[in-house]
Each structure stands twice: as structure tokens, then as C-alpha cells.
A and B are shown apart, each in its own frame.
Chain A
Amino acid sequence: MTLSVKGAVAGAALMLVGAMSTAQAQATPATASITATATVAQALTAAKVRDLDFGATFGGIARTVLPTDVSSGEVTLTGGANAEVTVSFTTLPAILTGPGVDIPLTYGANAAAYNVAGTRAGATAFDPSTGSTTRLNNATGLLSIYLGGTVSPAANQVAGTYTNTINLSAAYTGN
């Protein structure tokens, strides 16, 4: 009897310990963690390579520079490889100013072009007035932008140098 009593007490104690273990396990919150991660690509930069140069013009004779011409304006973008960017000309002047009356400057729908290869040949044309969305080179992160246009000096245009400023803006789209 005494032995059985001891066994019963021990059994009860085990039950209690077991129940407490279960209760403690259940009362203990469970946790886990995950990592939030991101890789920030190289910042997007733009550098002028060449001005848009119409060269010598003559009064009354319009002159057009194509984006594929060597005298077209050129800007190189550098950023994350294969990143998508928007390119827009934030300032696209309609005139050149100089010693005489302003010289009208116009841009056709194909007056701008881009090429991830960095060459004018094979560049993809776009309308500079609307801009374009494309991707940087998938290896180098480079994109070359070219701009042409047409100047139309008056017949009695005063000789001299006429200039203006074109501004280009580019931004990552996040894609």
C-alpha cells in the first residue's frame, strides 16, 4: 500500500510536471524572422560629350543636323546595368540668339536618338519633344543620347555666333 501510495504520488507529480511543461510550452510565444533586403544601384549621372553644332550657315538656307551626324549633340548617361530610365529634354529652345535676330530652331519627330552601344550608327530615334523610356546597357549601364535639329537663318541674318542651351533630364523608373 505504501509502495502504491508512493507510486501514485510520483505519478501525480509527473502528471503535474508534464502538465506544467505543456502549459509553459503553450504559453511561450513563438518567433521567427525574415530579412528585408535591397540592392541600390549606381546613381544615375549624365555627362555632355558634344554640343549640337550646326556649323557655318548661310542666310536664307536652312540647315539640318541629324542625330546620327557627328555634329549632333551627345550626352552619355551612366547608371545601373539594364535599369530603365526616362529621358526628356527639359529645355528645348526654339531659337538661337546672337548678334542679329533670333534664328529659329526646330526639331523633327526623329531628331533625337539613343543607343546603348554608344554609337550614332544604329541609334533608335525618338521625338525630343516627348522624350523616351528605355534601358541602360545591360552590362555597362551606359546610354548615349543624341540630338539634332534644324536652324533656319533669315536671308539677311547678321553674321556671328548664335547659341542657346538645351537641357536633358533622366531618371530611373524603378523598373
Chain B
Amino acid sequence: MWVRQRRRSGGEAIVVKHAVLVIGALIGACLLPVLAWGQGNGGRPLSAVSRQMLDFGILFSGTPARISRFDALRAGQFELRGAKGSEVRIDLGLPAAMTGAGGAKLPLQFAAGDGGYARDGLIATAAPFDPRAPLVTTLSANGRLYLFLGGTATPAVRQSAGTYSGTVIVTIAYTGT
């Protein structure tokens, strides 16, 4: 709207040019930090993919069961993607219990060594982390990071038979560093 008003006279056209240059400079100034930050992240949005559920299998009343983060068949697994080598913060939302029929609860516990992360996707050599606390690390050279999650389920002595489930949520964000 402001540009249209300046078009009415040839003399003002020069003013328009300057104004545009000023606008361009302002835009450039505004973009600089954004683009620098964007370049730092490779301009790639983050994504998170669920690869495998945390499967405790068959449990027996009164008998706790622990799934190791090294258990390739039962440990929960996520694949995270983003800008190559960028630093990210990862938060896990961990349920305190799994829920069964009629709202019955089956307690879950997560300990310091129940989380694992690997840039190459190899569960056997994944580094440990405490899934109860945020994890700050960097994505791999190809922008990947793999998370593994174990835990312990503790059915009560009189735990009702049946299927129980809960949801583990992962959130990943660039730290901007």
C-alpha cells in the first residue's frame, strides 16, 4: 500500500527505490540471524518415528519383569531425524503405569540405565541415559539418532489377568546451539 502511493510521481520513484533498498536492508537484517540459525541446523525440520513398542510380553502376578534397553526384540525404539550434527534436546514422557481392563493399573518403573541412544542405530553399543531426565546430545553426521528404552513392570500379587498398555512419548527439539 505504501509503494502504490509513491508511484504517482516520477520524482518519488527515486524515493521508492531508496525505500525498497531500506526495506531490503531491513529484511536482510532480520533474516541474517534466522538464516544463520537455519544453516546451522541444515534447514531440516525434526522428525520422530516410532520403530518398536516396549513389550513386556507375558507377566505373572507378583513377579516383576525388567526389559533391558539392549533387548532388540522388546525394548522400545525411536528413530529421530534432523539436521546433520545438530544439537537436540530429547524428553521422554513416561507412564507411571500401564492400564488394563476396567482401569486396572500395572506399575511401571524406569531407572537411570533404562535409556540408550546411538547415532549408528546399533542397540548393542548404545550409550546409556536416564530416560526420566532430558537428554541433550547431537544428531549423527547424517542427521539420525536412535533411542532405546527398557523398564520394569511390577504386577501385583493379585494383578488381574489380561492385557495392559501405556504410552511413551518422545519430544525432540533443537537446542539452537
Contacts and interface: CB of A to CB of B under 8 A. Distances in A.
A174 interface: yes
A103 B51 CA distance: 65
A30 B78 CA distance: 12
Contacts of A1: 13, 17
A40 B27 contact: no
Interface stretch (A15-23, A143-151, A161-169): A15-23
Interface string A33-69: 1111111111110000000000000000000000000
A38 B78 contact: no
B98 A36 contact: yes
B50 A43 contact: no
B159 A34 contact: no
Contacts of A28: 45-46
Contact of A34 (B43, B50, B153): B50
B165 A5 contact: no
A32 interface: yes
Nearest to A83: B60
Interface string A137-163: 000000000000000000000000000
B151 interface: yes
Nearest to A82: B58
A38 B57 contact: yes
A135 to B, nearest CB: 12
A12 B23 contact: yes
Interface residues of A, number: 40
Contacts of B41: 26
A73 interface: no
B38 interface: yes
A30 B55 contact: no
A128 interface: no
Interface in B163-177: 163-174
30 contacts: A5-B17, A16-B27, A23-B38, A25-B45, A26-B41, A26-B83, A28-B46, A30-B45, A30-B46, A30-B47, A30-B80, A33-B167, A34-B50, A34-B51, A34-B149, A35-B54, A35-B166, A36-B56, A37-B166, A38-B153, A40-B59, A40-B161, A41-B61, A42-B161, A43-B61, A43-B161, A83-B58, A172-B62, A174-B59, A174-B65
Interface of B: 3, 7, 13, 16-17, 20, 23-24, 27, 30-31, 34-35, 37-38, 41, 43-65, 76-78, 80, 82-83, 95, 98, 100, 106, 108, 149, 151, 153, 155, 158-174
Given A22-B38, A32-B48, A174-B59, 8 more contacts: A35-B53, A35-B165, A36-B54, A37-B56, A41-B60, A41-B61, A41-B161, A43-B159
Instruction: List 7 A-B pairs, minimum CB-CB distance, nearest first.
Output: A172-B60, A32-B48, A38-B56, A29-B173, A30-B46, A25-B45, A36-B54
